[in-house]
Structure 1
Amino acid sequence: MIERHSIDYVPWSERRGKLWHQAPFWFTGNFVLPTMVIGFLGPELGLSAGFSFLAIVLGACFGTFFMAFHANQGPRMGLPQMIQSRAQFGSRGVIVPFIATVFVYIGFMVFDVILATQGLGLVLPANKWFWYPVLTALSIVIAVVGHDLLHFVQRWLTYLLILAFAITTVLAFTTLPAPAPADAGGFDGTAFLIQFSLAAGYNISYAVYVSDYSRYLPAKSSAPKLIFYTYLGAAGSAVWLMGLGSLLASRLPEVDAIGSIKQVGDSLFPGFGTIVVLISTLALISIMGVNAYGAMLTSVSGVDAFKKVRGGVRTRVIGLVIVGLITVLAALLIPDDYLGSFNNFVLLMLYFLVPWTAVNLVDFYAVRHGKYAITEIFNPDGIYKKWSWRGLVAYSVGFLVMIPFFSLPGLYTGPIAEAIGGADISFAIGLVVAGGLYWIFARGLDSRAEEEARRRSQRELEGVDFE
């Protein structure tokens, strides 16, 4: 059935689903070829495959920590991820992180549709003027049906991906020649930190998606189990696929996402590599649906802050069609050497999303302890106001103090990053400053007035007092 909800609250009577479904959803969501590209960088910067893998494990596990803790917000609030941010930034102030978030969603869709078209090019003419609109339209159809179909597709693709890439990984270890000692790479602190930052930033970028796909779970869902399953899926797939990327980059003179997989797979029998690439293409189309769905929810939330929007199927379809058109146009205009800019894109996501995730998580876990007046989130004149200085100042200061630590190869290197050899530790600075400032600012909140608003909201939504 076509999903009826968009940015509106999901009532308890419509809650369903199993906690473990979050694991395959996020496994497939992260098990796409752009994830593997992140692993190419370490060996290209001179790291050995072993040190690259260590940086990937540490980075992906660190980034997923923040991403997974957002999952608990879905069942507790029954809302999409980004509209919850109105409680910290205000109904209009939230437009600041909204713009960065839509950029993330559409950026990923652009990279995904280009790679998917190249994958299909192994068996069909790769005409981008045909395939970009067709593949984008297919992903939009999946997103129109909505939440349940996205979960279904992601869950069943998990089994195909595990089988295909388990074989491919074994082949990569056993058939590719180990590099000569002179070419094997070693340890470099700057390169290690760059690989760590990219792996962490890539998985932190999924923080803006999470409760979109957990908000239909029962309100009393176990928080530890939900966080665990989300973490397991997202971190496991990132470590596996990025690690495979670092292995390929250390053993092949030149690597690319599709050609390398085809080369390794074909060592089993001619054509097997093509099969693996085509399975990967299915995952790319699916995650495009996930990205389109999130971009639509965030965009509608942004518009709703200035002009009231009615939820429902019609709103979702209009939003998704606009997202699809922008994606196709951007993909057609992007330079052919698009992967050359992919790592900088990931770092830009890290810069804009780190202060947001810090503010959002501190508010949920340390300030309001998961208790919100949901109806007030949709009331621009309510307790959360149009512009909330606490979240906006914490976010802005957190972002500004990160700038001297930025390291964007070919674009900008901050003075502190340059002084430490180009290593990028801006994410750590942003997390501490933005989260710490918000916690300090939030000590002045009127908790009594908010408690009364929460009780009124819960009675209005569910007919019972707030618990």
Structure 2
Amino acid sequence: MAVSAAGPARPGEYGDRVVAVEPGDIEPIAAQDRHGTPRQLFWTWSSPNLEFATIFVGVLAVSVFGLPFWPALAAIALGNGLGALTHGVLSARGPRYGVPQMVLSRLGFGYWGNLVPATLMSVTAGIGWFAVNSVSGAFALNTLTALPLPASLAVVVAIQIGIAFFGHNLVQAYEKYVFAVLAVIFAIVAVVTFAQSHPNAPGGSGGVGGFLLTTGAAFGYAAGWNPYAADYTRYLPATVSGRAVGWFAALGLFLSCSVLMAVGAAAATIGGGADETPTAAFTGHLPGWLAAITLLAIVLGAVAANALNVYSGALAFLTLGITLPLAWRRAIVALGFGAVGFVLALLGLSDAGAAYENFLLVISYWIAPWLAVILVDQWLRTGQDVAPLLADRSRIGWPGLVSFLTGAVVSIVFFANQSLYLAPVPKAMPQVGDITFLVGFTITGAMYAILGRIR
């Protein structure tokens, strides 16, 4: 039965079945299909971050942004803390409305205005993040097995797409059972890495600029999950504690990101071969047996992250209102995203490090103003019944869209992305670093607070 988002709930036919293709897509979840507890969100948001892409943010902080270990650790904690805090706030709304996060985004942007952030979400999650994590998984599998890189990439992508194809329950089950494996392996890696690191070694010339770049990169990574938040809480019973939902989601995200980024920063103080792949360089200081199981963990972690990326990217795409005469629309869209992401990952194998650095910063550029609209709108609508607005096609949402675009455009003059665009402000004052996400959030939030109240 095809229904519009936030319209009638689909019939309760999915329940907690794991090996079953999830029916429907972005419509509200029926009470009969609601299951789970807030506690499960801890591993839902820990497992996808126990992977090499998280570690590499810490490597960038020391090796590229020029920070000593301890300032890098402070910047990482700050960026992750901000991203985890907003993630908890957004996650808490999922059980009440039973719809994906990008459907809830319509509250601030309207049905038509929401097409802009929904498109950005589809591209960054279903294609961009998918390609980034697939590359790290492919490098790890290649180093572990000597299987050619393209073949390693094909294996990793096939597993990821398979999980996302079946849908929510299999995704959640994978995150749950892989968590214990990843947590144990990376805990051992952390101990060995910190024992060999040189945390008090002098860093580069990063200064304040490097600190803000690291904060922006960490925020971009953690907040990059924010547009997914309600996707994994909408199946919880409507009666669960919203506060518990928010805290478990935020804690899983913050701890996993902060610990592994710290491991990456510590590893960067050890050094590695310049001609090695990123994953081989990271595992180079580990004993042979530990290096092997770490590479396996990197593959499993990449799958954990991309199962979410493909699944949520498909939901965001369907939020655009595109009609597909298919029984398994979400599953088919997930296959399509996987195919496109595979091609991009294949093209990005040659210069993965630089591409990842650019990608992290670009994500924070659009997510910060999007978050400002969502959070201010939630504050403005305190106590209101907003459910009827979710499927109202008459709402253009010009206050949210105008505020979002204004904040995003004005903040361009603060871009400090060396290989893409160095804007006038950081060019004139390199010590400022990259404060784009702060500027975009502040301008957008202030503007929407005025326009939204008028509206």
Partner Cα separation in structure 2 for residue 75 and residue 262 of structure 1: 41
How far did 1:198 drift? 0.8
- 1:72 corresponds to: 92
Q: What are the superposed Cα offsets for residues 350-406 of structure 1, whole Å, 9 maximum, x if unpaired?
A: 1111111111122123325573124x423423xxx2x22111111111112211111
Verify the 8 A CA contact 2:197 2:269 in the aligned structure 1: no
Give the match for residue 112 of structure 1: 133
> Cα 1:261–1:274, aligned 2, differ >3 Å: closer, same or farther?
farther
SS in 1 for 2:434: coil
Aligned partner of 2:402 in structure 1 is 393
Distance 1:378 1:359 in 2: 19
Runs of 4 or more consecutive aligned structure 1 residues displaced over 6 Å after TM superposition: none
Quick one: which amino acid aligns to residue 444 of structure 1? Answer: I
**After the TM superposition, which residues 309-320 of structure 1 pair with which residues of structure 2 at under 5 Å, given as runs?**
309=324, 314-320=328-334
For normalisation by structure 1, the TM-score amounts to: 0.87
Q: How far apart are the structure 2 equivalents of 1:230 and 1:423?
A: 30
CA distance in 2, matches of 1:313, 1:39: 43
Residue 301 of structure 1 pairs with residue 319 of structure 2: yes
Q: Helix, strand or coil: the match of 1:216?
A: coil
| Residue of structure 2 equivalent to 1:416 | 425
382, 386, 393: which is aligned to 1:380?
393
Q: Give the Cα separation in 1 of the matches to 2:241 and 2:372.
A: 23
Percent identical among aligned pairs is 27
Q: State the match for 1:157 in structure 2.
A: 178
Matched with 1:278 is 296
Q: Does 1:236 align with 2:255?
A: yes
Higher alpha-carbon deviation: 202-211 or 433-442: 433-442
**1:168 aligned to which of 173, 176, 189:** 189
> Which letter maps to 2:314?
M
The answer (yes or no) to whether the contact 2:138–2:149 under 8 Å persists in 1 is: yes
Asked if structure 2 preserves the Cα contact closer than 8 Å seen for 1:48 and 1:186, the reply is no
C-alpha separation in 1, matches of 2:155 and 2:391? 36
What displacement does 1:137 show?
Answer: 2.4
Provide the rounded CA distance (Å) in 1 between the counterparts of 2:203 and 2:408: 37
Give how far 1:336 is off: 0.2
How many Å apart are 1:81 and its aligned residue?
0.8
How far 1:263 sits from its partner (Å)?
2.4
Q: Deviations over 1:77-104 (max 9, x none)?
A: 1101112222222222212112221221
Query: Where do 5+ consecutive residues of structure 2 fail to align?
Result: 1-19
Q: 1:356 aligns with which of 362, 370, 375?
A: 370
Shift of the alpha carbon at 1:414?
1.9
> Match for residue 151 of structure 2?
130
1:289 aligned residue? 307
CA distance in 1, matches of 2:384, 2:99: 12
Measured in 1, the distance between the counterparts of 2:197 and 2:32 equals 58
Following superposition, the deviation at residue 10 of structure 1 comes to 0.8
SS in 1 for 2:111: coil
Deviation at 1:179, TM superposition (A): 7.5
The equivalent residue for 1:144 is 165
Q: Which amino acid aligns with 2:48?
A: G
Partners of 1:400 and 1:287 lie apart in 2 by: 30
Deviates more, 1:410-419 or 1:278-287: 410-419
Task: Quote how far apart the aligned CAs of 1:254 are.
Answer: 4.7
Counterpart code for 1:114? V
Deviation per CA, 1:402-454, whole angstroms, max 9, x where unpaired?
11111111221222223331511121121122122222222234xxxxxxxxx
Matched-pair contact (CA < 8 Å) for 2:156–2:299: no
Distance 1:18 1:177 in 2: 39
Give CA deviations for 1:206-242 in whole Å, capped at 9, x if unaligned: 1111110001111122122111111110010111011
Q: Which has the larger radius of gyration?
A: 1
- SS of 1:241's partner is helix
Query: Does the alignment pair 1:201 with 2:220?
Result: yes
1:129 and 1:42, CA in 2 relative to 1: closer, same or farther beyond 3 A? closer
SS of 2:301 mapped into structure 1: helix
Q: Distance in 2 between matches of 1:359 and 1:206?
A: 16
Separation of aligned partners in 2, 1:48 and 1:134: 37
Q: In 1, distance between residues paired with 2:239 and 2:359?
A: 37
| Change beyond 3 A, Cα 1:277–1:370 | farther
Total equivalences in the alignment: 431
Tell me which residue corresponds to 1:91. Answer: 111
- TM-score under structure 2 length normalisation: 0.89
| Secondary structure at 2:225 match in 1 | helix
After superposition, the Cα gap between the structure-2 partners of 1:122 and 1:341, relative to the gap in structure 1 and judged at 3 Å, is closer
Task: Report the CA distance shift for 1:125/1:416 in structure 2 as closer, same or farther (over 3 A).
Answer: same
Moved more, 240-249 or 105-114: 105-114
Q: 251-260 or 430-439: which moved more?
A: 251-260
2:137, 2:299 within 8 Å by CA — same for their partners in 1?
Answer: yes
Can you give the 5+ residue segments of structure 1 that lack an aligned partner in the other structure? 446-467
